[in-house]
Amino acid sequence: MNAKRPLIAVLTGAGISTDSGIPDYRGPNGLWQRDPKAQELVTIGPYLADPDVRRRAWLMRRDVGALAAEPNAGHRALVDLERSGLPLRVLTQNIDGLHQRAGLTARKVLELHGTAREVQCVDCRAVGPTEETLERVTAGEPDPPCRACGGVLRPRTVMFGEELDQAVLQQAESVAKACDVFVAVGTSLQVFPVAALPFVAVKAGARLIIVNGEPTPFDEAAAEVVREPISTALPALVRRLVRERA
C-alpha cells in the first residue's frame, strides 16, 4: 500500500439516503418501526409463496418512490472524495443506485444487496428495468408477470432469507482488509455478514470512523464516532480526510 495515498473504504447504509426521501428500516422512524409486517414484503419465502405479498410489495415500491429519488449532500461528498484523487471504494448495503447517480465511478461501488433498479424473472432469469414494471402496476397489473414466460418477477436485490453473492462479498472483504481508513455511514451494523466488515478492517489495522445517528455494536472499536446528520457530517469528514492525506 502506498503510504501517501491510502485506500479509503466507505460502507454506506440506509441512513445516507434518508435525506433523499428514502426511508430506512431500523431507525426510530424506520419502515419496520412504522409497519413491522412490512418486512415480509422483502422476505423471499412469503414473496414467492403469496401473490398478496407480491401485490403489496409492488405497491410499496411504487409508493416509496426510490427510483425518482435524487442524490443528496452525503452522496455528493463521496463523489468529491473520489475526485480528490484518493483511492476509494464504496461498499453499499443500499439498493437505490444513488451513489452512481451522484457521479461515482460504477466500478468503485460494490452493491452488496443488489439493485432495485432492475427486476428479474424467477423462472427464465430475464432481466428488465424496474421502472417499466412499476408502470405496469400503476396501469392496473397488481402482480406483473414476466413478459417472456409468465413467471414471477422480483427485484434484483438480496431479500431477507437469501445469501449475499459470495463473489461480491469476497471483494468487499478484500477491500476491508486492504484499506487504511474504513468509514461506516448510516448503517446500524446489525445485518451480517456485511456488519462484520468493520471488524475485518480494524483487525487488519484500519482506522474505523462511524457516522450514524444511533449507537452501533462497533462504536467502542471506532477511532471516531460522529452523531451529526449525515448530510452535514459526511461532507465535513471528507474535507478533513482530503486535507490529512493531500
- pLDDT of 77-88, one tens digit each? 999 999 999 999
Architecture, CATH, for domain 23-64+116-157: 2-Layer Sandwich (3.30)
| Domain coordinates in residue numbering, the chain | 1-22+71-113+164-246, 23-64+116-157
CATH number for the domain formed by residue range(s) 1-22+71-113+164-246 = 3.40.50.1220
Q: Catalytic positions, please? A: 113
Q: Which residues contact 1 (CB under 8 A, 6 or more apart)?
A: 7, 178, 180
Q: What local confidence, expressed as pLDDT, does residue 82 receive?
A: 97
Segment 111-138 shows an average pLDDT of: 96
Cell of 186: 448510516
The two beta strands, 114-121 and 153-157, are: antiparallel
Is the predicted pLDDT of residue 169 greater than 90, yes or no? yes
| Residue 191 contacts residue 163 (beta carbons within 8 Å) | no
pTM assigned to the model: 0.88
